[in-house]
């Protein structure tokens, strides 16, 4: 199936045209996207470091995750919305951009990594809530998450250079 | 020596030419810059929200501030270094850019505010220390979060303004 006609149709809508041509809409979306990224990675990194055994502002891992996760989610949704709007404006070229495609791939891997953690080590968090270092499964999840999300940020910046 | 001569001298220097000629340097340095933004803004958000009294209220203020301040300071150092590389690479785009200078003023203001709000808490605790921030401190904590957002927005707009 060829996705280009669909992307072209999206790109021709008035919203997409406005974002592409207004001059200030695109940089403003980018700015909000970066603020969102800063909160997503900033909060996730604190949790990931805790999973690796670096204590955060509280000792218990569960309460820390509960502290930060709402901020992570709100910021992530903000990134998805601003990202989709930017994608609408130039979808036909983004799908041919290698950095963009790899970024989407890494996002999926980061999601899978998070799901594995939540279905695995997180279910037994009561057993290791205040234990240092955390169990191996949690450490692996934290390490992978730090790397995967850093990769997402890198590839996002590289989109503009390919 | 006028500023345009300085800019021309930086631009023609072997270091500046090398950074531009090796194509992966600028996107990589910009990616590291964004990762450092996430560390700085994530840490600022968490500790400023604690100062403002809306986050982790059951944890001592001093402990939260002490946990995140070194990360903010170290991220700032990385940001200044990577920023300097970008200035050396394209002084003709950056040093004449009014958004860049606005950003620099805001960075100094935001970090100065960060330091002033945290300085009393980074010193050893006195016996009669209050744990909750005063009303003006809470307001300044919110202001600080806002300032960092404007700094990020300015950073993105440097690429779009002259």
**For chain B, what percent of residues have pLDDT higher than 70?**
95
Give the Cβ contact number of residue B146 at 10 Å. Answer: 12
SS3 B127: coil
Residues B111-124: tens digit of each pLDDT? 999 999 999 998 87
Q: Do B41 and A39 count as a contact with CB atoms less than 8 A apart?
A: yes
Q: What is the largest CA-CA distance in chain A?
A: 55
Q: Does B60 touch chain A (CB under 8 A)?
A: no
- Rounded to an integer, what distance in angstroms lies between the CA atom of residue A82 and that of residue A76? 10
Q: Does A102 touch chain B (CB under 8 A)?
A: no
**Best residue of B20, B22, B28, B35 to probe chain A, by most A CBs closer than 10 Å:** B35
Which pTM does this prediction carry? 0.94
- Rounded to an integer, what distance in angstroms lies between the CA atom of residue B121 and that of residue B116? 10
Nearest residue in chain B measured CA to CA from A44:
B42
- Rounded to an integer, what distance in angstroms lies between the CA atom of residue A120 and that of residue B72? 33
Q: How many domains does chain B have?
A: 1
Residues of A in contact with B37 (CB under 8 A): 34, 38
- Rounded to an integer, what distance in angstroms lies between the CA atom of residue A74 and that of residue B45? 14
- Rounded to an integer, what distance in angstroms lies between the CA atom of residue A7 and that of residue A18? 16
- Rounded to an integer, what distance in angstroms lies between the CA atom of residue A26 and that of residue A5? 23
Residues B59-79: tens digit of each pLDDT? 999 999 999 999 999 999 999
End-to-end CA distance of chain A: 25
pLDDT of residue B127: 59
Q: Does B113 touch chain A (CB under 8 A)?
A: no
Q: Is 80 exceeded by the pLDDT of residue B152? A: yes
Choose the closest CB to A56 out of B30, B67, B149. B67
Count interface pairs A-B at CB distance under 8 A: 87
- Which residues numbered 6-25 in B keep a CB inside 8 Å of some CB on A? 23
Q: Does A100 touch chain B (CB under 8 A)?
A: no
Residues of A in contact with B157 (CB under 8 A): 27, 31
Higher pLDDT, B136 or A102: A102
Mean pLDDT over each residue of chain A, to the nearest integer = 95
Residues A34-91: tens digit of each pLDDT? 999 999 999 999 999 999 999 899 989 999 999 999 999 999 999 999 999 999 999 9
pLDDT of residue B154: 97
Q: CB–CB of B63/B153 below 8 Å?
A: no
Q: Is 70 exceeded by the pLDDT of residue A98? A: yes
Report chain A's C-alpha Rg in angstroms. Answer: 18
Q: What is the 3-state secondary structure (H, E, C) of chain A?
A: CCCHHHHHHHHCCHHHHHHHHCCCHHHHHHHHHHHHHHHHHHHHHHHHHHHHCCCCCCCCHHHHHHHHHHHHHHHHHHHHHHHHHHHHHHHHHHCCCHHHHHHHHHHHHHHHHHHHHHHCHHHHHHHHCCCCCCCHHHHHHHHHHHHHHHHHHHHHHHHHHC
Domain that holds residue B154: 2-122+131-160
């Amino acid at each position: 199936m060829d996705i280009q006609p669909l992307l072209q149709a999206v790109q021709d809508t008035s919203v997409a045209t406005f974002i592409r041509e207004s001059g200030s809409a695109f940089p403003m979306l980018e700015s909000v996207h970066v603020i969102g990224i800063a909160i997503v990675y900033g909060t996730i990194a604190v949790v990931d470091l805790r999973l690796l055994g670096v204590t955060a502002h509280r000792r218990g891992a569960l309460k820390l995750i509960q502290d930060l996760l709402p901020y992570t989610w709100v910021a992530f949704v903000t990134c998805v919305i601003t990202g989709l709007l930017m994608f609408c404006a130039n979808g036909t070229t983004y799908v041919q951009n290698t950095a963009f495609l790899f970024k989407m791939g890494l996002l999926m891997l980061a999601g899978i990594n998070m799901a594995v953690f939540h279905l695995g080590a997180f279910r037994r968090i009561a057993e290791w809530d205040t234990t240092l270092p955390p169990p191996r499964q949690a450490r692996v999840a934290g390490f992978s998450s730090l790397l995967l999300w850093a990769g997402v940020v890198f590839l996002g910046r590289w989109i503009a250079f390919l | 020596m006028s500023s345009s001569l300085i800019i021309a001298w930086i631009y023609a220097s072997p270091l500046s030419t090398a950074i531009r000629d090796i194509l992966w340097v600028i996107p990589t340095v910009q990616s590291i810059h964004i990762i450092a933004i996430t560390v700085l803004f994530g840490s600022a958000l968490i500790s400023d929200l604690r100062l403002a009294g809306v986050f982790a209220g059951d944890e001592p203020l001093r402990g939260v501030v002490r946990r995140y301040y070194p990360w903010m300071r170290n991220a700032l150092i990385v940001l200044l270094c990577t920023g300097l590389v970008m200035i050396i690479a394209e002084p003709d785009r950056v040093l004449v850019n009014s958004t860049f200078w606005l950003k620099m003023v805001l960075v100094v203001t935001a970090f100065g505010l960060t330091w002033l709000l945290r300085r009393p808490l980074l010193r050893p605790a006195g016996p009669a220390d209050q744990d909750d921030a005063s009303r003006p401190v809470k307001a300044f904590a919110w202001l600080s979060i806002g300032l960092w957002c404007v700094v990020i927005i300015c950073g993105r707009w440097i690429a779009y303004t002259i």
